Amino acid sequence: MTEGVGLGPVRKVGFVLRQGSSEPVEVLKRLLTRARSLDMETFLDPAEVPELEDGVAPLEGNEAELDVLITLGGDGTLLRGARRVARCDVPVLGVNLGRLGFLTSVPAEEAEEALDGVVEGRCGLDSRTTLEAQVIRTHGDASEPLFALNDLVYHNAGVARVVHVDLRVGEGEEQEEMGSFSGDGVIV
């Protein structure tokens, strides 16, 4: 197996699918066939496609082992997949099964060719900045770190609920206050 551009050998591939449609399952079956022909290990959450045959390992807990994650859906699916591997530095390839696909670059009919391109090193990496945020409430409770690829939205649940936010950027001594806001929410 050859090395992908900036990836090293590509031997383990994970999949995340758009929910509620049969189209991702059909594309997934084609990609699994191709991956097996390339002697790749494949990973998927069993809950996403419970009827799949044996030979697919569970994705949960194995994200850091992946050489690439392939998402089958639209931009929302790509963002969900990117959050899963945000701490693992795993590249994400988005196969577009949606209508617009600003982030998902590969049409469904070219999915196998794209996998071949990753394995053969014909694909470049497009680095994206990942946002990491943490919500710290007035009484000091802090959320788990939150990761985002595009933007982060913080708002209060319910209709016509005002949220008050003191927004700071950075960590520790490098932290800079951006301002205080009251409104429906904040998009960063």
Instruction: Please list the active-site residues.
Output: 75
How many C-beta atoms lie closer than 10 Å to residue 83's C-beta? 16
Query: What does the alpha-carbon distance between residue 161 and residue 185 come to, in Å, rounded to a whole number?
Result: 9
Between vectors from CA 14 to CA 87 and to CA 152, what angle results, nearest 5°?
Answer: 40
β-strand 92-96 against 68-73: which pairing, if any? parallel
E strand or H helix at 30, and its extent? Answer: helix 23-37
Which residue do the tokens 């790749």 mark?
Answer: 40
Query: What does the alpha-carbon distance between residue 21 and residue 48 come to, in Å, rounded to a whole number?
Result: 11
β-strand 68-73 against 131-133: which pairing, if any? unpaired
